Amino acid sequence: MELRFKQSSYKNEWVTQVSCRFSNSTQAEYLDSVKTKTVDNKITCAHPYSLFAMDMSAVIKKHWHVVSTDPAFRGLLDQPPQIVFKRPPNQKNMLVRADCPTHHLLHLHFGPT
């Protein structure tokens, strides 16, 4: 197999490196299904971006020990919530689109093209 790769203009260093990496393993190890990651039960809080929201994230992280020691939240919240921010609107979102007639309306006025 190595000879085929070398004949196909692969570099000798690369072929040797890969053959050493895979020589000590069996084919079954690579054909097994890929293990999926476990899903965290992490809560995500989405907020519009603002300086207040940035401060809120820091306050939650700073005082998380208070929430984590509360018996009411012990089973519900194992980790602090992930704070994510919505993108604020920009000029592209604010500009009004041109009022162009659709293809259907052009077809009604001018006949089939």
For residue 24, give every residue at least 6 positions away whose Cβ sits within 8 Å of its Cβ, in sequence order, or none: none
Q: Would you give the distance in Å from CA 51 to the centre of its chain?
A: 24
At 47, list the tokens.
């907020």
pTM across the whole model:
0.39
Report the C-alpha gap between 113 and 107 in whole angstroms: 7
Q: What is the pLDDT of residues 39-78, one digit of tens each?
A: 666 788 888 887 777 788 888 889 888 888 888 877 777 7
Percent of the chain with pLDDT strictly greater than 90: 0
